[in-house]
Amino acid sequence: MMFPVLIAEFVGPNGKGHGMILMREDGEFEGLVLRTEWAVKQEHACWEHRIEDYEVCAVSEALPPVKEMICEELGLDVD
């Protein structure tokens, strides 16, 4: 298996903001959100950014805390 593995993607309200959860080779989950300066420039639904355009917002052995942090950063409700 090639790492990191994409676990989930999130899009903020009205298409503003983007986040994703990756599983790292060490088995931990890493939450990334698109940097604010890029999210403001994004005016379409296509997210064609490099991993360098994202910031790490959470790293955890468990998935739920990472998901909660991304949802909080993007202004989404946690399911």
In tens, the pLDDT along 42-60 reads: 554 555 667 788 899 999 9
In tens, the pLDDT along 5-43 reads: 999 999 888 777 889 999 999 999 999 998 766 655 655
Q: Quick check: helix, strand or coil at residue 49?
A: coil
> In the prediction, which pLDDT does 13 show?
86
Backbone Cα Rg of the chain: 12
pTM tops 0.75, yes or no? yes
Q: Is 23 exposed, middle or buried (0-12, 13-18, 19+ CB in 10 A)?
A: middle
> In the prediction, which pLDDT does 53 show?
82
Residue 47: how many CB atoms within 10 A of its CB?
16
CA angle 47, 22, 7 (to 5 degrees): 80
> In the prediction, which pLDDT does 76 show?
93
Cα–Cα dist 12/16, whole Å? 5
Domain residues of the chain, as ranges? 5-74
